[in-house]
Structure 1
Amino acid sequence: MIQKKYYGLGTAITLSVNEPATEADLDAGNDLIAHYEDILTVNRPVSEVMSVNHAAGQKPVQVSEITYKLVKRAVEVSNWHLGFNTAIGPLVKLWKIGFDGANLPSDADIKERLQLIDPADIQLDDQNRTVFLTKPGMEIDLGGIAKGYIADAIKDLWVSRGVKSGIIDLGGNILLVGDSAHTNGQWRIGVQNPLKERHVALGVLTTPAKSIVTSGIYERYLVINGHNYHHMFDSKTGYPIQNDLESVTIVSDLSIDGDIWTTEAFYQDIEKGIPMIEKQPGLDAIFVTRDFRVAITSGLKDSFMLTDDHYHLI
Structure 2
Amino acid sequence: MIKKILAIGLSMLLIISMVSCSKKDEKVDKYATKMDTIMHLTAYGPNASKAIDEAFKRVDEIEKIASSSIDTSDVSKINEAAGKEYVKVHPEIVKIIKTSIEYSKISNGAFDITVSPLIKLWGIGTDEERVPADSEIKDKLALVGYKNISINEADNSVKLMKAGMAIDLGGVAKGFTADEIVKVFKKYGVNSAIINLGGSSIYTLGEKPDKTLWSVAIQNPRKEKNEGNIGIVKLNQGALSTSGDYQRFFIKDGKRYHHILDPFTGYPADAGVMSDTIRIDSSIPDCNMLADILTKVTFVSGIEKGMKIIDSIEGISCMAVTTDFKIYKSSKWDTKIEDLSTDFKLAN
**Shorter-chain TM-score tier:** over 0.9
Deviation at 1:185, TM superposition (A): 4.4
Query: 2:235·2:335 contact (CA, 8 Å) conserved in 1?
Result: no
C-alpha separation in 2, matches of 1:223 and 1:154: 36
Out of 83, 89, 104, the residue aligned to residue 63 of structure 1 is 89
* SS in structure 1 of the partner of residue 113 of structure 2: coil
Cα pair distance change 1:109/1:302, threshold 3 Å: closer
Deviation at 1:186, TM superposition (A): 2.3
Structure 2, gaps ≥5 residues long: 1-26
Aligned to 1:264: 297
Asked if residue 113 in structure 1 is aligned to residue 140 in structure 2, the reply is yes
Aligned to 2:21: none
Asked if residue 246 in structure 1 is aligned to residue 274 in structure 2, the reply is yes
Aligned to 2:245: 217
Give the aligned residue type for 1:61: V
Give the aligned residue type for 2:191: K
Aligned to 1:150: 177
Cα pair distance change 1:290/1:28, threshold 3 Å: same
Give the aligned residue type for 1:292: F
Cα pair distance change 1:235/1:300, threshold 3 Å: closer
State the TM-score, normalizing by the size of structure 1: 0.95
Higher relative contact order (CA 8 A, sep 6+): 2
Query: 2:123·2:129 contact (CA, 8 Å) conserved in 1?
Result: yes
* SS in structure 1 of the partner of residue 343 of structure 2: coil
Give the aligned residue type for 1:130: S
Asked if residue 39 in structure 1 is aligned to residue 72 in structure 2, the reply is no
Give the aligned residue type for 1:19: G
Deviation at 1:16, TM superposition (A): 0.4
Identify which range, 166-175 or 263-272, moves more after superposition: 263-272
C-alpha separation in 1, matches of 2:119 and 2:292: 17
C-alpha separation in 2, matches of 1:175 and 1:204: 15
Identify which range, 76-85 or 28-37, moves more after superposition: 76-85
* SS in structure 1 of the partner of residue 114 of structure 2: coil
Deviation at 1:82, TM superposition (A): 4.1
| Percent identity of equivalent pairs | 32
Aligned to 2:4: none
C-alpha separation in 2, matches of 1:105 and 1:260: 26
The Cα RMSD (Å) is: 1.6
Give the aligned residue type for 2:253: N
Identify which range, 9-18 or 99-108, moves more after superposition: 99-108
Out of 246, 258, 271, the residue aligned to residue 230 of structure 1 is 258
Out of 188, 191, 196, the residue aligned to residue 223 of structure 2 is 196
C-alpha separation in 2, matches of 1:57 and 1:265: 31
The number of equivalent residue pairs is 313
Aligned to 2:12: none
Query: 1:21·1:164 contact (CA, 8 Å) conserved in 2?
Result: no
Aligned to 2:39: 13
Asked if residue 98 in structure 1 is aligned to residue 125 in structure 2, the reply is yes
**Matches of residues 151-166 of structure 1 in structure 2 within 5 Å?**
151-166=178-193
State the TM-score, normalizing by the size of structure 2: 0.86
Give the aligned residue type for 2:44: N
